[in-house]
């Protein structure tokens, strides 16, 4: 079974980078990314503060 590692980096308005999370998945589909973005939103990450890379 092939596993893929993903990370979300945030860049705030001051230009500082922060690691927002690490995930391991078997695929990269819309459901996966929706779950990642939902998790980040539930943890309080705001779109107007961070740019996600």
Question: What is the tens place of the pLDDT at every residue in 1-46?
Answer: 889 999 988 887 788 888 999 999 998 789 998 999 899 999 988 7
The model's pTM is 0.74
- Looking at residue 12, what is its pLDDT? 79
Q: For the CA atoms of 39, 5, 7, 38, what is the dihedral angle to 10 degrees?
A: -10
- Other beta carbons less than 10 A from residue 17's beta carbon: 12
- Looking at residue 14, what is its pLDDT? 85
Tokens at 49, concatenated = 């503060």
């Amino acid at each position: 079974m092939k596993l893929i590692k993903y990370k979300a980096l945030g860049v705030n308005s001051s230009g500082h980078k922060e690691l927002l999370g690490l995930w391991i998945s078997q695929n990269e589909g819309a459901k996966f990314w929706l779950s990642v973005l939902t998790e980040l939103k539930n943890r309080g990450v705001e779109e107007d503060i961070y740019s996600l890379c």
